[in-house]
Amino acid sequence: MADNKNTNVKGISRRRVVTGFGALAAAGFLPRQLPAQNSVNEAETLIIGGGIAGASTAMHLAELGRDVLLLERGDIASEASGQNMGGLGGNGWGNNPNLLSYLTAGGVEIFRHMQIDLGYDMEFRMSGTMTAIHNEAQYEYYQDQVASLRSGGYEIELLSPQEALALEPQANGELLGYVHTSQRGQADPVKSTRAFAHAAEMAGAKIHTGQNVIAITPQSRGGYSLQTQTGEYRCQTLVLATGAWCGPVGKMLGLNIPIVPIRGQMWATKSLPPRIFNTIGSAESSVAWSRNNGSDDVTPPNLTHKNTNRSTRHLYGRQRKNGEIIFGGDRESLGYILNPDPAGIEINRGHAAEVIPVLTTLPIARTWSGMMPFSLDGAPIIGKIPLRDNLFIVSGLASSGFGRGPMAGKLVAEYIHTGHMSGVLTQSDPARCVTE
Ligand SMILES: Cc1cc2nc3c(=O)[nH]c(=O)nc-3n(C[C@H](O)[C@H](O)[C@H](O)COP(=O)(O)OP(=O)(O)OC[C@H]3O[C@@H](n4cnc5c(N)ncnc54)[C@H](O)[C@@H]3O)c2cc1C
């Protein structure tokens, strides 16, 4: 499949692919491996969770030559990684890349590599993002933000409404201005996550779907035994990539993993001719969270609601390749309740129409929701959990895990392979927050 022309950009290996085989298989045309019946399945490293974080970890570990098996209770991309908006964040690498730069700019490079070099159709494109500024307070906030980020070497600019309309003709020309970030992109969530899983299989990883892990037992001779509803698995190294379910999975190991499930919800128009080119956002929530992020002992920062009361409006959206215009933004802590809230959808639609006025006339064709893994302190949780042997986690990616999951998976795979924590992972060290 690959012609072994390897180059390297910030540690991301590039293999040029000469067939379009990957795209076919990622779309679901290849059979998945089935677990061996009535026997114990063993692998050196087991990953629980077939979202983008687990699939990327599996791909990168397999590419490093590791014996890896991924367990997913549903299908690949059946939770947040398949339900999100598909926006890839970030402002480039900057002059002095931190964890955020690695996860965002590095993530974009991995998406680019998967689609352009490996031939997967992930609907990836570098669309840029346009963030609407509605009032003076937001304008002042973003003037400072943009100046500070630009001085750090990040790519971001403040545009007048006229300049914004030249890039996004459907944007509201009556607003005060827009923040434009050229280094952001978009991709299809399901196709992309499946592409990572397929690339993992191509590199030698095994993937067992329909395997709900219900018990995890540390073994006296080292390693772990995992019980699913239909089988038993054993490994030396275990990786938790279970997104919003890290809490209950951590309990199986006697651990308290402070990840709170946060409901996100979205709506879509019917398919329409292309008319929105960037991903679209609004400055309202950033300014509100800069004043009061709403966090406490049981509530993560930067939600739109507290105790069911709305504190701000958040907005993200884009037009998909199939023509649907999709928007969302609400982030609410409700346990594992998943039903979309129609009142919140209407508020979000009104917010979107303030930025893209044509939306006022377009009815909602469908709505959906998903569970985001928010950590209590707002930072990702990526690395080794020191309270147990050979136990790793890649999670806490909150509302940005589609874009950040690929690099998070690469970083944790390299940690497992080398035994050394990359310096940037200091900021996401599980030791700071995972307890017994
Ligand atoms: C509406 C919405 C919009 C969003 N928009 C964006 C966006 O535009 N850009 C962005 O970057 N991010 C976005 N996000 C956030 C992003 O989707 C998540 O951060 C990311 O998908 C998390 O990936 P994950 O692999 O950690 O978790 P998941 O995708 O949730 O994967 C975890 C997997 O673990 C499996 N699992 C759990 N428990 C078990 C068990 N016991 N046994 C076996 N398997 C188990 C689950 O079935 C699941 O498939 C959005 C999320 C939502 C809900």
| Residue 84 CA to ligand 1 centre (angstroms) | 8
Residues 188, 189, 193, 198: is their CA dihedral positive or negative? negative
Mean predicted confidence (pLDDT) in 50-61: 98
Considering only the C-alpha atoms of the chain, give the largest distance between any 2 of them, rounded to a whole number of Å.
Answer: 68
Residues in the chain: 436
Rounded to whole angstroms, the Cα distance separating 164 from 434 reads 44
d(CA 244, ligand 1 centre) in Å? 7
pLDDT for the residue 40? 87
88: three-class secondary structure by DSSP: strand
DSSP 195-248: HHHHHHHHTT-EEE-S--EEEEEE-TTSSEEEEESS-EEEEEEEEE--GGGHHH
Amino acid at the residue 179: V
Beta carbons of 371 and 243 less than 8 angstroms apart? yes
Strand partners, 368: 266
The partner residues of 31 in beta bridges, in order of sequence, read none
Task: State the number of CA atoms in the 13 A half-sphere of 41 facing the CB.
Answer: 23
Backbone conformation region of residue 90, classed left if phi is above 0, alpha if psi is from -120 to 50, else beta? left
DSSP 364: P
Tell me the per-residue pLDDT of 260-311, one tens digit each, with 9 for 90 and over.
999 999 999 999 999 999 999 999 999 999 999 999 999 999 999 999 999 9
User: How many Å apart are CA 181 and CA 166, to the nearest integer?
Assistant: 14
Phi-psi region of 119 (alpha: psi -120 to 50; beta: other; left: phi over 0): left
Helix (H) or strand (E) holding 401: helix 401-418
Fold held by 129-182+260-375: D-Amino Acid Oxidase; Chain A, domain 2 (3.30.9)
Nearest CA to ligand 1 atom 14: 399
Distance 317 CA to ligand 1 centre (A): 18
d(CA 77, CA 57): 14
Task: Please name every residue paired with 367 in a beta bridge, in sequence order, or none if there are none.
Answer: 267
Do 265 and 345 form a contact (C-beta atoms < 8 A)? yes
Distance 78 CA to ligand 1 centre (A): 8
Cα–ligand 1 centroid distance for 80 (angstroms): 3
pLDDT at site 39: 74
What does the alpha-carbon distance between residue 80 and residue 237 come to, in Å, rounded to a whole number?
25
Nearest CA to ligand 1 atom 4: 84
Nearest residue (by CA) to ligand 1, atom 2, is 84
**Mean pLDDT computed over every residue of the chain:** 93
Residue 8 has pLDDT above 90, yes or no: no
User: Residue written as tokens 């061996």?
Assistant: 36
Q: Ligand 1 atom 25: the closest Cα is on which residue?
A: 51
**Would you give the DSSP letter of residue 119?**
-
**Which residue is closest in CA terms to ligand 1's atom 53?**
370
Domain covering 14-120+189-258+378-432: architecture: 3-Layer(bba) Sandwich (3.50)
3-state secondary structure of 73: coil
DSSP for 19-65?
-SHHHHIIIIISPPPPPPTTSEEEEEEEEE--SHHHHHHHHHHHHTT
Report how far ligand 1's centroid is from the alpha carbon of 247 (Å).
14
* pLDDT number for residue 10: 45
Strands in 157-159's sheet, in edge-to-edge order, are 157-159, 177-181, 129-133, 279-282, 316-319, 324-332, 259-271, 366-375
Pocket-testing residue among 330, 372, 394, 407, ligand 1, by greatest number of atoms within 8 A of Cβ: 372
Q: Which atom of ligand 1 is nearest to the CA of 403?
A: 11
Domain extent listing, the chain? 14-120+189-258+378-432, 129-182+260-375
Digit-coded pLDDT (tens) for 196-242: 999 999 999 999 999 999 999 999 999 999 999 999 999 999 999 99
Token pair 């993993």: residue: 257
Q: How confident is the model at residue 32 (pLDDT cuts 50, 70, 90)?
A: low
Ligand 1, atom 52: nearest CA belongs to which residue? 84
Q: Kindly give the number of the ligand 1 atom that is closest to the alpha carbon of 242.
A: 34
Segment 342-359 mean pLDDT:
98
Instruction: Please give the distance, rounded to the nearest whole angstrom, from the Cα atom of residue 262 to the centre of ligand 1.
Output: 11
Give distance in angstroms: CA of 294 to centre of ligand 1. 23
Which residues surround ligand 1 with Cβ inside 6 Å? 48-54, 71-74, 78-81, 83-87, 212-213, 241-245, 249, 264-266, 316, 328, 370, 372-373, 395, 397-403, 405
- Whose C-alpha lies nearest to ligand 1, atom 51? 84
pLDDT class for 35, splitting at 50, 70, 90? low
The residue whose C-alpha atom lies closest to atom 16 belonging to ligand 1 is: 401
- Please say whether the beta carbons of 24 and 198 come within 8 A: no
Measure 336 CA to ligand 1 centroid, in angstroms: 13
CA geometry: angle at 88 spanning 203 and 115, to 5°? 40
Under 8 Å between Cβ of 154 and 100 = no
